[in-house]
Amino acid sequence: MANGKRRRNRIPDINFNGVLETDQCIIRRGVFSYFQDHFRKAAWQRPKMSWDGLRKILDEDRVQLEKVFSLEEVWCAVLNCDGNKALGPDGFNLNFIKAHLGEIQDDFMNFIHEFHNGGSMVRELNRAFIALIPKVVKPETLKDYRPICLVDALYKVLVKVLANRLRKIMDVVIGET
């Protein structure tokens, strides 16, 4: 069973510029190069920004944004995440977190509080893997694959908690244009 999954998760051959490649090293380098070029940012100059007239949040809104994250906020974020998304690099999806939060909540909340206190997280949690999903039954070129980004479950929850807080003041910060 594991060998079948490994075969399905492998790109046995791919057409690069009219040449069918089967060598896994060449395929790996070709995939890396293709998507590196595909996702590379073009060099650009940052525009100058005028801070005049920029809206400011009220002190009580700032206090709400900066307060310590509660278990209730985290639990709400977990429940509002789609648990059936693909596993992240950590090997967990949100269904696991939903099912076991009671058992792991102390460690989970320690992570959330460490982020809150220090403003940063372990570098490994802020990583993403790109997985290639075939768009067709027999993919022939890299255009026949859709890249998806896989991130850790902890990271997803943290981002959701932050987004939920920011959502409450967005109308104050961003005006109608």
Residue 108 domain-assigned (yes or no): yes
Indicate whether 84 and 146 sit together in one domain. yes
Residue 96 domain-assigned (yes or no): yes
Which structural domain, as residue segments, surrounds residue 118? 58-177
Indicate whether 121 and 158 sit together in one domain. yes
Indicate whether 26 and 103 sit together in one domain. no
Indicate whether 33 and 86 sit together in one domain. no
Mean pLDDT by 10 residues, the chain (177 residues): 54 91 92 83 76 83 92 92 83 87 89 86 75 91 90 88 91 73
What's the pLDDT at 26?
Answer: 93
Tokens 């959502």 belong to residue = 167
Indicate whether 69 and 24 sit together in one domain. no
pTM for this entry: 0.72
Indicate whether 14 and 74 sit together in one domain. no
In this structure, are residues 93 and 85 in contact, taking their beta carbons and an 8 Å threshold? Answer: yes
Tokens 């801070």 belong to residue = 51
Indicate whether 62 and 123 sit together in one domain. yes
Indicate whether 165 and 118 sit together in one domain. yes
Residue 146 domain-assigned (yes or no): yes
Where does 23-152 have alpha helices with state H? 24-39, 59-66, 71-79, 94-118
Question: What is the number of domains present in the chain?
Answer: 2
Q: Exposure of 121 by Cβ count < 10 A (0-12 exposed, 13-18 middle, 19+ buried)?
A: middle
Query: What is the residue type of 171?
Result: D
What's the pLDDT at 5?
Answer: 47
Query: What is the residue type of 103?
Result: E
Indicate whether 20 and 81 sit together in one domain. no
What's the pLDDT at 101?
Answer: 83
Indicate whether 33 and 68 sit together in one domain. no
